[in-house]
Structure 1
Amino acid sequence: MKLSQFIFIGRLEVLSFLVLLLIAMPMKYFMDFPLAVKYVGWAHGVLFMLYAGAIAILGYQYKWKFIRMFLLFISAFIPFGPILMEKRVLYNR
């Protein structure tokens, strides 16, 4: 796997997280449309698993230390986290 692919997955994961928080959740609670959370949440879950798997693959390929992989994983729980971690963690090898 290439770093560019990982960055792309990370950005898609960020986008899905923001859509879930800012569009699907309000649709569920203010418009009584729970299917928005169901489908966007499902897509976000798949992208999150891809992101986590990509961390493991790249960690093995580049022989990253555990702390780098841990920081990348934790960043996925913060809005814009993977984008913020790109320069700090990925390009400082």
Structure 2
Amino acid sequence: MLKLLPVFRIVTLLEGVSYILLLFVATPIKYFGNDPQYVKLLGMPHGLLFIAYIILAILISKDMKWNNRTLRTVLLASIIPFATFYVEKKFLRKSNAKH
């Protein structure tokens, strides 16, 4: 499953960017500008990236030798803005150098 690590790293970054755009760009435009088109545009891709992030994190957790606490941290990062960037730096970047 370590062959999924490069894919997970890409999904991690894209999920983080899509979440930030959705929260800090599209949602304010929807509510303050009365224009929901950006939420509609970004919502589906973000949802798919979120699901991919969760599935890939679970799939690679055993090969990465993550304990339950680390896996929970990685999963929780998917709902906290900017936290997926922390995951990439703390848990994925250093492990990619090892393998």
Which category of TM-score, normalised to the shorter sequence, fits these structures?
A: 0.7 to 0.9
Alignment-derived partner of residue 13 in structure 2: 11
Give the alignment's Cα RMSD to 1 decimal: 1.9
Alignment-derived partner of residue 30 in structure 1: 32
Partner SS for 1:62: coil
Seq. identity, %: 31
Q: TM-score, normalised by structure 2?
A: 0.80
Contact residue 4 and residue 56 of structure 2 kept, 8 A: no
Q: 1:18 to 1:26 in 2, by over 3 A?
A: same
Q: TM-score, normalised by structure 1?
A: 0.84
> How many residues in Structure 1 have an aligned counterpart in Structure 2?
93
Stretches of structure 2 that go unaligned for 5 or more consecutive residues are none
Alignment-derived partner of residue 84 in structure 1: 86
Residues 53-72 of structure 1 correspond to what in structure 2 (within 5 A)? 53-72=55-74
Runs of 4+ in 1 over 3 A off after TM superposition: 60-63
Alpha-carbon distance, 1:62 to partner: 3.4
Stretches of structure 1 that go unaligned for 5 or more consecutive residues are none
Partner SS for 1:61: coil
Q: Distance in 2 between matches of 1:89 and 1:36?
A: 32
CA offsets, 1:15-62, max 9 Å, x none?
101110121112111221113212312211111000001101101333
Q: Distance in 1 between matches of 2:12 and 2:23?
A: 17
Partner SS for 1:79: coil
Partner SS for 1:2: helix
Between 26-35 and 5-14, the greater mean CA deviation after superposition: 26-35
Alpha-carbon distance, 1:10 to partner: 0.4
Q: Distance in 2 between matches of 1:85 and 1:60?
A: 16
